[in-house]
Amino acid sequence: MNPLAVIILAAGQGTRMRSNLPKVLHQLAGWPLLQHVLEAVYPLNPEHVVVVTGHKAELVESALASSTATWVRQDEQNGTGHAVQCALPALEGFAGDILILSGDTPLVESQTLEKFIGHHRREHRELSVLSMTIDNPTGYGRVIRDSYDGLLEIVEEKDADAQTRTITEVNSGIYCAATKNLKQWLESVNNNNAQGEYYLPDIIPMAVAAGSGGVYHHTDSLSLAGVNNRQQLSQLEKVFRDRKVEQLMETGVTFIDPDSCWLAPDVQVAQDVIIFPNVVLGVGVVIEEGCRVGPFCEIIQSKLGPGTVVRPFSHLDGAESRGPNEIGPYARLRPGSVLEPRAKVGNFCELKKAHIGAGSKVNHLSYVGDTEMGSNVNVGAGTITCNYDGANKHKTTIGDGVFIGSGTQLVAPVTLEEGVVIGAGSTITKNVPAKALAVTRVKPTYVNGWVRPVKIIK
Ligand code: UD1
Ligand code: CA
């Protein structure tokens, strides 16, 4: 089989977005548009992936620095044809098929691209263009066919007459071309058009004239739609969400109100999980079987172990629940929070870099940071680990079965050994040995018959 290379065009500013941010860095479901396109092409196992950047190129390249793509620059954005010309030197010596896409079509799917390339090869073509039919073709290049339904050319919106503008079959901006011809065709493209640009679709009539150009029509136009403005971005965000929710429901996930949820592309949710309304599941989220996520929760880069219940208004970022656990309502789990099975974190509690042992409870209004906590510990209401001295963070270690009375401050570094009891209202500054009771309280003073001051009226 012919080897494959990919060129992704991402040099444009995206004027119609009206933004300081380059268009391909605008996010859809938490990923930059360009990342969606890259993720769609990797499964095709291309030998090369070349991305053309230009407008704020450094920003685009650094935002996707983890990708294995080769970056090439198009310093002046003279059109899509010119952009492909800029990419070709990076493919010197490559002689297979080149798949060309835009960085602004985020819902494109690998399977569609595979079918498209397969069709191109079966038809022994030197150029194929992927088309779609849409109700509102505004902004797209229109596909012009001859009376035998064969491809003739693509006319851009701005160059089209009123009659041509009524055509609803449009160019998706995805092409497959034989390397050897592409270079030669591009040299013949001129910029005599409404935008004064070198249009990539202008190579189509050249291939057609040589009898080797054709069109492949794809019915799911939404998956090929481009983002040129904020309206289209929000429409595609919704399409993406609906599709992701649909997939998850098919695998056994309940969404009480699918329309109000927001999901990143890589979210994994197991069977028999129930998601309540207004839940945000960001990148890096794994939810295992039987969990329940209550309304108004945001979960990012976190894992919920089997049977975990997250109650309303909780915020988890970089947390791991080993399950089953109860979290919230109104809990905040920050990076490095780990809950062993049956641990509970209740209302208005904040955890950061805290390992909570099996069956331990931090149920009310507490802050636990930089802490290693054993199992079956009871942390009373309003307990604070004082982990920061203004310059450095220090660790608190709490042994198995410790009972901490309400309103306690643990001034780190400090260790409470196994079975310790801390009397309510204590400030613990020194290590407490196993099974000891520690109480630090100011001696109470009671003044009998105390007379309260009286307000002076002037
Ligand atoms: C383009 C096609 C149009 C098609 C539509 C599909 C052309 C002339 N028109 O129009 O037929 O229906 O896509 O979505 O190709 N880019 C560069 N360098 C440039 C210009 C653009 O890299 O000099 C990049 C952009 O960053 C973008 C992509 O090429 O990712 C497409 O450019 P855009 O301006 O969005 O083209 P459309 O007007 O949508
Ligand atoms: Ca576009």
Q: What is the pLDDT of residues 70-113, one digit of tens each?
A: 999 999 999 999 999 999 999 999 999 999 999 999 999 999 99
Residue 347 within a domain: yes
In a shared domain, residues 234 and 216 = no
Of all residues in the chain, the percent with pLDDT exceeding 70 is 100
Q: What average pLDDT does the segment 50-59 reach?
A: 98
Contact (CB, 8 A) for 300 and 318? yes
In a shared domain, residues 389 and 278 = yes
Q: E-assigned strands of 106-248?
A: 127-133, 142-145, 151-155, 169-178, 213-217
Contact (CB, 8 A) for 358 and 373? no
Our answer to whether residue 394 is catalytic in this structure is no
In a shared domain, residues 309 and 268 = yes
Amino acid at 393: K
In a shared domain, residues 168 and 51 = yes
Residue 453 within a domain: no
**How large is the C-alpha radius of gyration of the chain?**
31
Q: Residue whose CA is closest, atom 9 of ligand 1?
A: 141
Quick one: which of 111, 108, 225, 124 has its CA closest to 176?
124
Rounded to whole angstroms, the Cα distance separating 170 from 145 reads 11
Does the Cβ of 200 fall within 6 Å of ligand 1? yes
SS3 at position 238: helix
Give the domain CATH number at 43.
3.90.550.10
Q: What is the pLDDT of residues 162-205, one digit of tens each?
A: 999 999 999 999 999 999 999 999 999 999 999 999 999 999 99
Whole-number Å distance, alpha carbon 139 to ligand 2 midpoint, is 8
In a shared domain, residues 152 and 248 = no
End-to-end CA distance of the chain: 98
Q: Report the predicted TM-score, pTM, of the whole model to 2 decimal places.
A: 0.92
In a shared domain, residues 210 and 239 = no
pLDDT at 361 over 80: yes
Which ligand 1 atom sits nearest the alpha carbon of residue 83? 18
In a shared domain, residues 205 and 344 = no
Contact (CB, 8 A) for 15 and 5? no
Domain that holds residue 51: 4-224
Residue 173 within a domain: yes
The number of domains in the chain is 2
Pairing of strands 421-422, 326-327: unpaired
The last residue of a domain, from among 200, 224, 248: 224
Residue 443 within a domain: no
Residue 258 within a domain: yes
pLDDT band at 1 (very low <50, low <70, confident <90, very high): confident
Classify 209 in phi/psi space as left (phi over 0), alpha (psi -120 to 50) or beta. Answer: alpha
Rounded to whole angstroms, the Cα distance separating 221 from 247 reads 19
In a shared domain, residues 140 and 282 = no
Does the Cβ of 201 fall within 6 Å of ligand 1? yes
pLDDT of residue 187: 96
Does the Cβ of 380 fall within 6 Å of ligand 1? no
pLDDT of residue 2: 85
Mean pLDDT of the chain: 97
pLDDT of residue 346: 98
Whole-number Å distance, alpha carbon 107 to ligand 2 midpoint, is 13
In a shared domain, residues 97 and 206 = yes
pLDDT of residue 277: 98
Does the Cβ of 81 fall within 6 Å of ligand 1? no
Amino acid at 154: I
Element (H, E) at 73: strand 70-73
Does the Cβ of 52 fall within 6 Å of ligand 1? yes
Rounded to whole angstroms, the Cα distance separating 153 from 149 reads 12
* 433 upstream amide cis, omega within 30 of 0: no
The last residue of a domain, from among 194, 224, 254: 224
Of all residues in the chain, the percent with pLDDT exceeding 90 is 99
Q: Residue whose CA is closest, atom 7 of ligand 1?
A: 199
pLDDT of residue 214: 96
Residue 323 within a domain: yes
The last residue of a domain, from among 196, 224, 252: 224
Q: Which ligand is nearest to the CA of 24?
A: 1
Q: What is the pLDDT of residues 223-280, one digit of tens each?
A: 999 999 999 999 999 999 999 999 999 999 999 999 999 999 999 999 999 999 999 9
Q: What is the pLDDT of residues 300-354, one digit of tens each?
A: 999 999 999 999 999 999 999 999 999 999 999 999 999 999 999 999 999 999 9
Residue 244 neighbours by CB under 8 Å, 6+ apart: 29, 263, 265, 267
In a shared domain, residues 78 and 212 = yes
Residue 448 within a domain: no
In a shared domain, residues 175 and 324 = no
Give the domain CATH number at 260.
2.160.10.10
In a shared domain, residues 245 and 214 = no
Residue 316 within a domain: yes
Rounded to whole angstroms, the Cα distance separating 193 from 79 reads 11
